[in-house]
Amino acid sequence: MRRLFPVLLCIAFACRRGGDEAAKARIFSPEPPANVSPESKETLDASALERDGKVAARVLHMPQWEVAQRLGPHNAQQRVQFAWFHGPGLPDGGAEVSLAEETTLHQAGDDFSLRLVNDHNQGFELVWSGGQVFVKGLYGSFHERRTDRTDPEGVRDQAMGGLAAFDRLARGLKLRFAGEVTNDGRKVARYTVTGFGARTAKVSNGDLPKIAYPEGHPDQDTARRLELWEKEEPETVSGTILIDSATGAPFACDLTGHFSVPGKSGPAELDLHTVLATSSVGKNVTIAAPKAEPEPSAPHAVKDPLRFLGKEPGAAAGKPSAAEPEEDDKDDEEEAPAPAPAQKP
């Protein structure tokens, strides 16, 4: 028995050491690049959108970060034009709201620049370069924004989400495969739109709690938005969609549709035209950080309005509070001057 004990001990130690080595190999193995996700490596059949609704939804609603990983450096331009109509026979005499906007995207690896302008002389520019984000108005100067308070990828998805929004309004586009063609030097699968309602609405997750609105109901603006997505009805849709054959990423589209939303005072009607064009795939696209102006220091009236107005407990109206809050930002290092000591009688 004494002879067997060292043997068993060595076997146990060897097994344990083997497990430790395997664990160390897993822990210290090279990690995959942060800018590569498993979704972008998934093979997508560009010719399967007609026969497979899941693939169609997967491709038409592809987020921009995945498009960037699949196509690599590229340029994209999107134009969206819409007009809302409220019939002239209604009590309010009818109304019309229209807007046309154009978005230009330059994608270079993880970095990108985005510019959006509309026919109301409004817009913005956003640059994401080297882990820094810069934003400017249409006619203003660039300012660097804090990355923990900015979502550049979310802004990019919203600005370039015309194809996904059209498909959602159409309740799923019905597509017919029209063969493979060439666009901007790349082979693409061409589809013609034959109808709408190809997919049913997504079933809500029963595990999520019911939304608790203030006063038991959504405000007027929120109710209008919910009414659009829940009650809108597609009437006519037409156009073409191009899908990159090599990567399965959406490449181009030209879509026109008419939609309506029923209401108590009559239906509201929407005319929508969405165009997407992609070019310069794989070309050398560089995004340089723009020259940015420093952020202005916000006064205490903006950063701490209660203290500025003397609304803290024990402070007289119109007089600053004696208590100074803790400041975290460098802009707050300048404290208000201390009050002069009281004169002895």
Summarised one tens digit per residue, pLDDT across range 173-225 is 999 999 999 999 999 999 999 999 987 655 455 577 888 888 888 888 888 77
Q: Of 89 and 291, which is predicted with more confidence?
A: 291
Place of tokens 């003397």: 310
* pLDDT score of 118 more than 70: yes
Q: Which of 9-23, 254-268, 295-309, 328-342 has the lowest mean pLDDT?
A: 328-342
Question: How do residues 214-245 score in pLDDT, each as one tens digit?
Answer: 888 888 888 877 877 788 899 999 999 999 99
Assign 25 to helix, strand or coil: helix
With a CB cutoff of 8 Å and minimum separation 6, the contacts of 316 are: 310
**Max mean pLDDT range (85-89, 107-111, 309-313, 328-332):** 107-111
The confidence score (pLDDT) of residue 212 equals 86
Closest to 45 (Cα-Cα) out of 278, 249, 251, 184: 249
Task: Characterize 42-78 residue by residue with b for buried, 16 or more Cβ atoms within 10 angstroms of its Cβ, and e for exposed.
Answer: eebebbbbbeebebbbbbbebbbbbbbbbbebbbbbb
CA–CA distance, 208 with 211 (Å, rounded to integer): 9
Half-sphere exposure of 33 (CA within 13 A, CB side): 7
Place of tokens 């997750």: 205
Q: Are 255 and 238 in contact (CB under 8 A)?
A: yes
Residue with tokens 């998934």: 42
pLDDT for res 227: 77
Amino acid at 1: M
Mean pLDDT of the region 58-87: 93
